[in-house]
A and B are shown apart, each in its own frame.
Chain A
Amino acid sequence: MTTLTVALKYLRGRFVASALTSVSVALGVSLVIASVLLSRGIQQGFIEGTTDYSLLVGAKGSPTQLVLNIVFRMDVPTPNISYSTYRQLQDDPRVEVAVPVAMGDAYQGCRYVATTGGYFAAYSWRRKTFAISEGRFFRDDPPEQPAYEAVLGADAARRTGLRVGDRFHEGEEMAEYPLTVVGILRSTNSADDRAIFFSLASYWEMNEVSRKTKVKPLTAVLVRPKRMSDLPGLHRGFNITAETQAVFPSAVLLNIFNVLSLVDEVVAIILAFVVLVVLLYLFVSMYSATLERKREIATMRALGARRATILGIVLLESCALAVIGGALGIVGGHGVACLGASMLAGRGGPVANLFVVGALEPIVFGSAVALGALAGLLPAVLAYRTEVAENLAPLS
C-alpha cells in the first residue's frame, strides 16, 4: 500500500470533515478566481470597447459622462453643442476625420444614436470594422427630406426582435415618426451592438425642439487628427472656449482604471483575509485529525512504518484536500465570474471574454496546493514526533 493510498483512505474514513474542508478551500479559491476574472474582464471590456477616435468634442461638463455616454452608451447625454462645431472641425486643416453624433432616447432599452455614414467608415487606423449582416446602411439624407431609416446593432436586433422592413417607434408622441429597419450590423463586441443608428436629418425632425430651430444640435463630435502631434493643440483649442470641452477617451478610461485599482486593492486585502481563514480552517482540520489518530499512528509505527512515511501521509492528506478544493474552486470561480459578467452585460456594462487561458489558474491552483502543504506541515510534524510507547499504552 503506497503512502498516497493510505492518505486517501484516511480522507475517506472521515468523509464529511474532508468534504467540508475541501468545500471551504473551493469557496476561497473561487472567490479569488471570480474577483480577479471580473476585475480583469471589466478593464479589458473598456479597452476593447473604446473608440478608435483620439478626441471627443462635446458640451462643457463631466468628461467621464461624455465618454461613458458617447462611447459606452452609459449614463445620460451631456448637453447639446451646435452643428457649427462639427463644421469648424471639418474645416480644420489638422483634422482628418470628424464624425457628428447625437444621442437620443431609447427603444426597449437600446439607445438611439444619430450620426452620418462616416461613423461606419473603414480607415487604416481603425481596429473596429462595421459590416452589415442583413440589409444595408441608412442613407445620409438631406435635412429637409428625412428618410427615417434605422440600422440596428446585433444585440439590439436580438433584444427587440426587429427585422429588416419592420417599422417601430417608442411612445405615442413618436407615432408620427416611425423608423424603418433597413439593416442589421454584425457584432462588434462593443456598445454599438446595443444601439439603434439613424441619420441626423431623421433625428432633428423627430426631436420637437430641433425641428423648430435653425441651428441644429449635436451631442458630440468624434475627431481623428491628421498628425497625432496636433492633438494637444486641438484639445486645448476646444477646452478654452466657454461652450465646448475636448476629451481624450483614453485619459478618461485611465482615470476610471485608477479608481478601479483602488477597489482592487481593497478586494485584495479582503481576499488575503479569506485565504488566511481558509488556511486556518485547513490547519485546524488536519491538526484535530492528527490528534484523534495518535494511537493509530503509534500502531503504524509499531508495525514498522517509518517517521518520514507518517509525515508524508499527513502532508499528502492536506495536499489532497487542497488539490480537490483548488480544482473545484477554479471551476466554481469561472462559473461565478460568468454569472457576474452576464449580469453586468445585461445592464450595459463592458465585460470582455473571461475564458481566455492565462497564468491565473495554474498560479492559483499551485498556491492552493502550496498553502495546503503549509497548513499540513505542523500536524505532519506532530504526527512525525508521535511516541509509540506513550500512545500505545492501554486506554483504561
Chain B
Amino acid sequence: MRRCLRAWEFERVRATLAASLCLVCANFGLAAYGQAAYGEEVPRLTFAQLVDSIRANFEVTQTMKSFNGKEVEIHGFIVPAGPPDLSFFLLSRVSAMGNYCCEVPVGQDETVHVYAPKGVKILYDPLRVYKVRGAFEAGPYTDPTYGTSLFRVRNARVEEAVGAKIFKVGDTPAPTPSK
C-alpha cells in the first residue's frame, strides 16, 4: 500500500514537470507561429512604381490608391530624419550617406514617410537596404510634425533585406501578386 502511494506521489511530481515542459514548448510554438505570421507574403511596391504613379497637381493614380490601408512591403535606405528611436524616418531609394560615389539624392517622389509608433529596434547602417512593412497610404497629406508627403507607411515593422534589389525608375520588377 505504502509503495503504491509512493509511486502515485512520484507520478504526480513527474506529471507536474511534464506539464511545465509542455507549457514551455507551447510558448516556443507560439513564438515560431509569430515568425511565420511575419513571413507571410504581402504585395511589394517599388520606388519605380511609386514614381510612375505620380500625376499632375500632386495626385497619384487610382491603382496606387487601391493599396491605401493595405499591408505592403517596400525596400529602401533609411534616412533618420526623425527621432533616434526611429518612430519616424524616411525610406529612400538612394542612401543619404554615399557622398561621393552614389546617385544624387532623390526628392519627394522617391521618398516614403515611415511611421513606427513603438519605434524600431535594428542595427542601423546607412548603406544597408531595409525591408519595411506596414499600412500604405498614397496621396498628399500634411503631418503637423513632419510636413507634407505623397507616400506613407504606418505601423511599420522593419528588418534588414538581405540581397535586396532597389529598382530604379524605368526598371520593371516582376509584380508580386496581391493575396
A and B physically associate: yes
A226 to B81, CA, bound (A): 12
Q: Choose the segment among A133-141, A202-210, A229-237, A339-347 that binds chain B (4+ C-beta atoms closer than 8 Å).
A: A229-237
**Known: A229-B149, A248-B79, A258-B123. Contact between A235 and B105, CB under 8 A?**
yes
Check A240–B90 contact: CB distance below 8 A. Answer: no
Task: Determine chain B's interface SS by DSSP, over half rule.
Answer: loop
Cβ of A253 < 8 Å from any Cβ of B? yes
> Which of chain A's residues 195-247 have a Cβ closer than 8 Å to chain B?
225-233, 235-236, 239-240
Task: Determine chain A's interface SS by DSSP, over half rule.
Answer: helix
Q: Choose the segment among B61-69, B93-101, B165-173 that binds chain A (4+ C-beta atoms closer than 8 Å).
A: B93-101
Number of residues from A at the complex interface, CB < 8 A: 35
Of B10, B13, B96, which is within 8 A of A236 by CB?
A: B96
**Known: A227-B108, A228-B90, A236-B105. Contact between A250 and B9, CB under 8 A?**
no
**Known: A227-B148, A248-B96, A307-B9. Contact between A253 and B84, CB under 8 A?**
yes
Check B107–A233 contact: CB distance below 8 A. Answer: yes
Q: How many A-B contacts at CB < 8 Å in the complex?
A: 97
Q: Which residues of A contact B85 (CB under 8 A)?
A: 47
Cβ of A261 < 8 Å from any Cβ of B? yes
Check B147–A250 contact: CB distance below 8 A. Answer: no
Check A228–B113 contact: CB distance below 8 A. Answer: yes
How near does chain A come to B105, taking the closest CB pair, in angstroms?
3
Cβ of A306 < 8 Å from any Cβ of B? yes
Check B84–A240 contact: CB distance below 8 A. Answer: no
How near does chain B come to A195, taking the closest CB pair, in angstroms?
21
A107 to B104, CA, bound (A): 44
Check A228–B146 contact: CB distance below 8 A. Answer: yes
| Interchain Cβ contacts under 8 Å between A and B, 10 examples | A46-B84, A54-B81, A124-B145, A125-B145, A229-B111, A232-B79, A235-B105, A240-B99, A254-B80, A384-B10
Given contacts A125-B147, A228-B81, A239-B99, 19 further A-B contacts (CB under 8 A): A124-B145, A125-B144, A125-B146, A227-B108, A228-B146, A228-B147, A235-B96, A236-B96, A236-B105, A240-B99, A248-B79, A248-B96, A250-B80, A250-B86, A255-B124, A257-B124, A258-B124, A308-B12, A308-B13
